[in-house]
Chain A
């Protein structure tokens, strides 16, 4: 290895005081990446439940054609807050937590590059969470302009108060942007500078590649959203007219700022989940990841392409035809590196010794739903079709297949897979399988009907609808409630096994990877001695001695 790796040697910092197995640590300003990781994950799930409750109210409303449960304005507030909470308070914090917990372990580092900055970035999450939640209490209620907050709708301020739901929303989103940028600086620096000796780029687990690619998007995309949010904030609060057509401003410019980030944001969500799939499949199918270097590099390719597709969200905003063609093409191009990954997973699982553990079930279920989302995604990428179904339930169905089917299921796969490592306890397999069954059935019942509804022309963001749409809506609502219910066995499982579950071995899945070399849960300094990496990450089946080596190491 070159001098570059030598300089990349992790700095030997003093271990952090206080043990992470003492629960009180989780409520303090800790700089241990493992504590921060779990702080992020638990906070994210707290908001996941709130976002889910709002979704239950929406599905309750939609079970009948009339707007009888909540009125129109409340419904607007519900879907806005549901979308915002799910994206800014659930997915990003969850994925940051996972990256925080796993990346230093996977690359053989003692901590992140900037532990204090890490803690600061985390503690901003509850702060903007509270700001966002406060908007339920201010006069006029929460923002009603949807999670994308397009002006001029988002510039309306019927109550006339300076402190209103939209203002709080913008402050929260801008803060969330800053927190995520700080997190991204930290994660990218850690991956580039702190890898253990011998851990060349092509010995890095795909999860690390994927996280790095996703965080690069955060670095270059988020500033645009933050800039847009700040300008909108000024428009709303002090009367500038950046995006206010009445004052000569340009509302479409806001859409560009917004989507320049928010389309790539989809990859910020999905890339780490692809990373999870790439870790879970090989272990639970006992086969090396098929085409590892291609899977690894395809993440970066997706990152690159994701920066040039945003206009596909604006096909219906009076975009010139040549632009439509260009962005339609670039959008379709993304399906190539994505297809590489999907192909690799299928080839990995194919003919493997599949163990249907809970993480494997969730990963398989997530893959199936992602494939379905991919098909509808390609349909939507074609401008003529998009103009037809734009703003119908077809779109809602598509993105929930991505975001619930792939991302939430992948997140569950990750939790079950690394739960023994994080807590030192095994989860209950039976409850895990029940959780999976309810989730898979509920998600498909909930989100599949949205496609026929969209094709029939049911618009999105409506509290009431034409009775002809009733049939599929009832089914969707039943699915939604099953989905709501599915979180109960999950919470029960996590809490009870965390407290009294069977003691987990250091390497319960017989997996390869630095994180499995340390005890469960890992000690403070992660590695008593920084490991020297001598081989690639996926030697399953073909190279079982490696697994045994890992096991004997872990047993030491």
Chain B
């Protein structure tokens, strides 16, 4: 667990670097948005954000069930977290497909896809970790061994959420 926390600290610096890049580009740009783009739609990303953030609570409930040794309670809320995470990813994919600009559309396009893409990879990694833990919970007597992984996965999930909140504020709210 300690090692994982150290790793997440290091990851934070990667995200911070990208954030700094975004802020520098945005504050120094002469024309920021690609030609023909008025602004980003906020509503559906906001809904996706709400889903992702609430999944942080759901995963905590799942953990509680595990502590009370209620395996089915754990599994159902754990699975719900995975569904919510996947919904978020789906919403992001849809947004990407609908946008009229690409990765190479100036510094805005670059940082937009870099940030959301890198974060999306983390969401995906989180879902994969959750899947592994879910699978493990079906191995008899492996339940105690899984607890450690469950705690780390959950921590990772909160981390991904917090990063997204900053990202959402930077990209969608500060237009």
Contact = CB atoms under 8 A, between A and B. Distances in A.
Interface of A: 113-114, 181, 184-186, 188-189, 192-193, 219-224, 226-228, 231, 234, 238-242, 247-250, 253, 257
Given A249-B107, A250-B28, A253-B24, A188 B17 contact: no
Nearest to A226: B14
Interface residue SS majority, chain B: helix
Interface in B20-39: 21, 24-25, 28-31
12 contacts: A113-B3, A189-B2, A189-B3, A193-B3, A224-B13, A228-B17, A231-B21, A241-B110, A242-B111, A248-B30, A248-B31, A257-B17
A112 B31 CA distance: 51
Contacts of A226: 14
A222 B13 CA distance: 9
B139 interface: no
Contacts of A189: 2-3, 6
- Give 10 closest A-B pairs by Cβ, nearest first: A227-B17, A223-B13, A240-B110, A189-B3, A223-B14, A219-B10, A239-B104, A224-B17, A185-B7, A185-B6
A188 B6 CA distance: 8
B18 interface: yes
A223 B10 contact: yes
B96 to A, nearest CB: 15
B102 to A, nearest CB: 10
Contacts of A240: 103-104, 109-110, 114
B3 A185 contact: yes
Contacts of A242: 21, 25, 107, 110-111
B81 to A, nearest CB: 25
Contacts of B28: 250
A247 B25 CA distance: 11
Contact of A238 (B30, B104, B111): B104
B41 to A, nearest CB: 23
A186 B3 contact: yes
Contact of A241 (B10, B31, B106): B106
Interface in B93-114: 103-104, 106-107, 109-111, 114
Contact of A227 (B7, B14, B104, B109): B14
Interface of B: 2-3, 6-7, 9-14, 16-18, 21, 24-25, 28-31, 103-104, 106-107, 109-111, 114
A220 B107 contact: no
A183 to B, nearest CB: 11
A511 B5 CA distance: 36
A247 B6 contact: no
A185 to B, nearest CB: 5
Contact of B10 (A222, A234, A253): A222
Nearest to A224: B17
A241 B3 contact: no
Contacts of A238: 103-104
A113 B104 CA distance: 42
Given A189-B2, A241-B106, A227 B18 contact: yes
B10 A181 contact: yes
Could you say which of B13, B14, B111 has the most chain A C-beta atoms within 10 Å of its C-beta?
Answer: B13
Contacts of A185: 3, 6-7, 10
Contacts of B21: 227, 231, 242, 253
Nearest to A239: B104
Contacts of B103: 234, 238, 240
A157 to B, nearest CB: 15
A254 to B, nearest CB: 10
A246 B54 CA distance: 42
B104 A220 contact: no
Given A185-B7, A185-B10, A248 B17 contact: no
Contacts of A221: 13
Contacts of B11: 223
Contact of A219 (B9, B17, B18, B25): B9
A494 to B, nearest CB: 34
Contacts of B106: 241, 247-248
Contacts of A247: 104, 106-107
A220 B10 contact: yes
B95 to A, nearest CB: 19
A245 to B, nearest CB: 11
Contact of A184 (B10, B104, B110): B10
A181 to B, nearest CB: 5
A240 B110 CA distance: 6
Could you say which of B31, B110, B114 has the most chain A C-beta atoms within 10 Å of its C-beta?
Answer: B110
A239 B16 CA distance: 23
A181 B11 CA distance: 10
A242 B25 CA distance: 8
Contacts of A184: 6, 10
Contact of A248 (B3, B9, B10, B29): B29
Contacts of A239: 104
A242 B22 CA distance: 10
B107 to A, nearest CB: 5
Contacts of B16: 223
A234 B114 contact: yes
B57 to A, nearest CB: 29
